Amino acid sequence: MSDEVAAYIAGFLDGDGSIMAQLVRRKDYKLGYQIRVSIVFYQKQSHNEILFWLKEQLKFGYIRNRNDGMTEYTIVGLSEVEQTLQLLHDKLRLKKSLAQDVLQLIKVHPKKMTPEKLLKLAKLVDKTAEFNYSKKRTNTSEVVIEFLKSKNLFPVETSIRQPADWDS
């Protein structure tokens, strides 16, 4: 991909996109929560051809029409989001620090999750959520703490350490 195309896509993400890290409640997970990272581009359905071009350029994700007349192009998953953010990071302006935080979260995401690691990641998710303005966000690190307590998986040590201290 040319620098010009990457810069255009980064500008589109800065203006009409979101970079998100979320805590998703999963009843089939022992620790009750999954960390989900995603990138979403938005456009009115009447102008959604640009989203198909974006998908052609980035090679990941899916496109869906919403009921409110908008279309979303969504990229989900640690590897896919990491590759996309690495490609666009240097060209982002408004969302550059958010992209750095999500890349950090991906970097420290362990292969084997423990209560301690989940809580540390949940706190990183909380930090990224400060950048986004979700009115409906209910899953926070505090909710994760309460869940872990209810399953007798708490107390866990709650300070956030650097990635070098983590065992994957």
- Which residue from 88, 149, 118, 112 is spatially nearest to 25, judged by alpha carbons? 118
Q: Locate 26 and state its tokens.
A: 């999963």
Q: Identify the three-state secondary structure at position 83.
A: helix
Tokens of 40: 């979403």
Question: Which one of the listed residues 15, 28, 68, 165 is annotated catalytic?
Answer: 15
The predicted pLDDT at position 168 comes to: 47
What CATH number is given to the structural domain containing 123?
A: 3.10.28.10
How would you write the pLDDT of the chain (168 residues) with one tens digit per residue? Answer: 899 999 999 999 999 999 999 999 998 888 999 999 999 999 999 999 999 999 999 999 999 999 999 999 999 999 999 999 999 999 999 999 999 999 999 999 988 888 999 999 999 999 888 887 667 788 889 999 889 888 888 765 555 454 555 554
Q: Is 28 a catalytic residue?
A: no
Residues for the chain: how many in total?
168
Q: Active site includes 165? A: no
Q: Which residue segment(s) compose the domain that 15 sits in?
A: 3-165
Q: What is the model's pTM?
A: 0.85
pLDDT in the model for residue 158? 52
Opening angle at CA 110, ends 63 and 132, nearest 5? 45
Main-chain phi, psi angles of 77, to 5 degrees: 120, 145
The rounded distance, in Å, linking the Cα atoms of 92 and 101 is: 13
Cβ-contact 157, 114 below 8 angstroms:
no
Active-site entry in 16, 68, 69, 101: 16
User: Total structural domains in the chain?
Assistant: 1
* Cα radius of gyration rounded to whole Å, the chain: 17
Q: Rounded to an integer, what distance in angstroms lies between the CA atom of residue 33 and that of residue 43? A: 30
